[in-house]
Amino acid sequence: MAMKINTLKYFLMDASKSFTRNKTITLASCATVATTLFIMGIFLLTLLNVNQGILGVQSNLQAEIYINDNITLDQQTALENTIRSTDGVKDIKFVSKEEALKKLRDTFGADNQELTEGMEQANPLPANYIVKVTSPDKISNVIKNVQGMPGIYQISDVRDLVNKVQKISNAVKYVGLGLFLLLSGVSLFLISNTIKLAVYARRREIGIMKFIGATDWFIRWPFIFEGMFMGVAGALMSLIVVFYTYRLVLAKFSTELLELMSVKLVPASYVFTHMSWEFLLAGIAIGVFGSIMAIRKFLKV
């Protein structure tokens, strides 16, 4: 057991010395890993927030059925009964022309009330029914049942918005994955070259070790640990940069607007509480794989 601990100490000490020996190249390798993971982190946060936005919109998924000013009582009653009898309808609310105007004024705020001056005399806003459904696919049932009924001015819903947001989310996902793979390749190349330089500088020492019976894995481990150090260092650098960058971005968003849209963005603390282990594992994987690639070639295993 003591032998194994001493061997591990030797590996770690040897890796630490090599890590600090080629400072410029080591720093470049760590910076590349950090850049790779920074891109990954930003795209992960973007996707998480896009999904939060989709969930927020879907939680308030509704159809708004605007009616003509000259709709008859019989037509309005028939329309309301049709809506209520439709499968999947959770709630229905009638908004009069006056309520629609008040809602518009509340949206503009106290500083912009002049925009709605004089609208009481000639209110252009139509009355409408706000129909909430149990699930997104139920909106089609509502629209299908009321389509073409007399007295309807316009029907609007947020299905197109949800579809567009999902398309944007998919595009961000693929672009992020492409950049991550590209930068991962660059990181592997730099770490591999850094390890190659360390191996080349110690080629005589490695030759002597092999001559006296050291196994290839005994020679490999210090370089693998060195790659792990680079990966961990890059991961820690990227975590800090992602955290402060994301916190700065969050400060620019309007809290009131997000609450109005029922969207809750991922907090900045999420970077350390949930993403830190992902960054560390990714950094270690890049470092270890890059080291193994370099040593394998030199040892001709």
| Residues of the chain falling short of pLDDT 50 | 1-3, 301
Residues 239 and 106 in one domain: no
Given this model, what pLDDT does residue 117 score?
A: 67
Domain boundary pick from 111, 135, 157: 157
Residues 180 and 277 both lie in one domain: yes
257 vs 171: CA distance, rounded Å = 25
- What integer pLDDT is reported at residue 140 of this predicted model? 81
Tell me: do 180 and 276 sit in the same domain: yes
Judge if 172 and 291 occupy the same domain: yes
Claim to verify: residue 144 and residue 255 sit in the same structural domain: no
Residue 161, pLDDT score? 66
Tell whether 25 and 108 lie within a shared domain.
no
pTM metric for this prediction? 0.63
Does 175 lie in the same domain as 119? no
The answer to whether the beta carbons of residues 151 and 76 sit under 8 Å apart is yes
Find the CATH number of the domain harbouring 101. 3.30.70.3040
Domain holding 184, by residue range, is 2-57+162-299
pLDDT number for residue 2? 44
Q: Are residues 9 and 140 in the same domain?
A: no
Based on the domain organization, do 120 and 195 belong to the same domain? no
Task: Let me know whether 37 and 166 are in one domain.
Answer: yes
Listed residues 157, 177, 198: the one ending a domain? 157
**φ and ψ of 85, to 5 deg:** -85, -5
Residue 143 and residue 210 share a domain = no
pLDDT in tens, 225-262: 888 888 899 899 999 999 999 998 888 775 655 555 55
Q: Provide the number of structural domains found in the chain.
A: 2
Question: Do 143 and 243 fall within a single domain?
Answer: no
Residue ending a domain, choose from 128, 157, 186:
157
pLDDT in tens, 27-39: 878 888 888 888 8
> Would you say 138 and 88 are in contact if contact means Cβ atoms under 8 Å apart?
yes
